[in-house]
């Protein structure tokens, strides 16, 4: 795979040079690359895709129970208050997790008792059918073509690629193999508690109304090590929550390529730095490679049939 959707810039040169050098100097088993998902592999505006899925479930709960309509996060879901939901993530990146805890409380109740198979089917249906609110395409078609090319390019140089994201592990697993070529066993993410119940069909796993792990910030390196058992030498993110993962990459004795996606293209995608201010400062101070959507990508999205807006 070539980097056909990458312009001939210094960023592309850095990617090619690192991959070719690593293929000659780093043993295959140590060629590990980790990628954040929201805002790094697919579009996260006007709010992360998974929040739309959660919104749909919470709204259904509020429709069935009027008492929930005055309580967050059901109130925001019922009123389609996307600003509140999107603000949850922005406040989190700014260091304020008060609304994250509120949202997580609703999330735990929303899916408690649902089996992993039921959840996977619902997530797959949502991603297949739901249109992006402004881009005129299905949510599943909002992946960044250049980043998918980069996954294949690295694999062509002997890398094994993983996803390490703050998003729900099981939500991402509904689609990562198909759109990224990343199988479910290479997806590291946030999760709720699970419980096994035996039955005549071999048993089932169902979600508990309790958290397991929120895979963001300093938790990312911990989860990467616990799931992979190796320190990556390539990582890519786009927000303050990715700083520990990016700093963990390479370590003292290994080469490292740290990529930070900068959303600066209001015409083809979105233009924002909120939630990435500290990451951009760190990138400048430490010489990380900043990937500009506007300057480095000749194409942002693929060309699937447009979503049915009606």
pLDDT in tens, 225-238: 999 999 999 999 99
Do 121 and 114 form a contact (C-beta atoms < 8 A)? no
Average pLDDT, the chain: 93
pLDDT in tens, 36-54: 999 999 999 988 898 889 8
> Where residue 307 falls among pLDDT bands split at 50, 70, 90?
very low
Whether the CB-CB separation of 162 and 182 falls below 8 Å is answered with yes
Count CB neighbours of 183 within 10 A: 10
The structural domains of the chain, ordered by start, are 10-44+142-296 (3.40.50.1000), 49-129 (no CATH)
pLDDT of amino acid 108: 85
Strands (E), the chain: 32-35, 160-168, 187-197, 204-213, 234-237, 257-264, 271-272, 289-292
**Dihedral sign for Cα atoms in the order 243, 248, 252, 257:** negative
Q: State how far the Cα of 229 lies from the Cα of 241, in Å rounded to an integer.
A: 21
Counting Cβ atoms within 10 Å, is residue 300 exposed (0-12), middle (13-18) or buried (19+)? buried
Q: For 68-77, 102-111, 206-215, 291-300, which range has the lowest pLDDT when averaged over its residues?
A: 102-111
Q: Could you tell me if 163 and 37 are in contact, meaning their C-beta atoms sit under 8 angstroms apart?
A: yes
Q: Is it the case that residue 308 has pLDDT exceeding 70?
A: no
pTM for this entry: 0.91
Mean pLDDT on 189-205:
95
Confidence of residue 268 (pLDDT cuts 50, 70, 90): very high
Binned at pLDDT 50, 70 and 90, residue 304 comes out as low
**pLDDT(254) > 90:** yes
pLDDT band at residue 305, thresholds of 50, 70 and 90?
low
Answer yes or no: is pLDDT of 10 > 90. yes
Q: Residues of the chain with pLDDT > 70: what percent?
A: 97
What pLDDT shows up at residue 310? 41
pLDDT at res. 309 = 44
Would you state the pLDDT for residue 87?
80
Predicted confidence (pLDDT) per residue in 62-94, tens digit: 999 999 999 999 998 898 877 787 787 778 777
């Amino acid at each position: 795979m070539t980097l056909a959707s990458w312009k001939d810039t210094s960023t592309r040169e850095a990617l090619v040079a690192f991959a070719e050098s690593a293929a000659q100097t780093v043993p295959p088993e140590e060629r590990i690359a980790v990628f954040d998902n929201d805002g790094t592999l697919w579009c996260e505006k006007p709010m992360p895709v998974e929040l739309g899925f959660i919104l749909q479930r919470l709204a259904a709960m509020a429709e069935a129970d009027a008492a929930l309509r005055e309580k967050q996060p059901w109130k925001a879901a019922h009123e389609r208050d996307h600003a509140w939901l999107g603000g949850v993530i922005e406040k989190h990146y700014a260091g304020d997790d008060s609304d994250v805890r509120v949202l997580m409380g609703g999330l735990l109740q929303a899916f408690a008792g649902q089996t992993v198979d039921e959840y996977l089917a619902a997530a797959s249906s949502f991603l297949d059918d739901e249109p992006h609110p402004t881009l005129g395409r299905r949510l599943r078609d909002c992946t960044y073509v250049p980043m998918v090319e980069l996954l294949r390019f690295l694999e062509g140089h002997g890398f094994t690629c993983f996803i390490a994201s703050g998003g729900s592990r099981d939500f991402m697993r509904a689609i990562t193999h198909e759109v990224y070529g990343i199988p479910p066993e290479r997806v590291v993410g946030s999760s709720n508690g699970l419980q096994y119940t035996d039955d005549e069909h071999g048993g089932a796993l169902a979600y508990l109304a309790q958290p397991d792990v929120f895979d963001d910030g300093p938790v990312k390196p911990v989860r990467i090590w616990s799931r992979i058992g190796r320190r990556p030498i390539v990582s890519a993110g786009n927000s303050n929550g990715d700083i520990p993962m990016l700093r963990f990459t390479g370590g003292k004795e290994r080469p490292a390529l740290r990529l930070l996606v900068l959303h600066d293209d209001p015409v083809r995608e979105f233009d924002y730095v909120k939630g990435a201010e500290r990451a951009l400062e760190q990138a400048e101070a430490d010489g990380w490679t900043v990937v500009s959507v506007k300057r480095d990508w000749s194409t942002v999205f693929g060309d699937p049939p447009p979503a049915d807006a009606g």
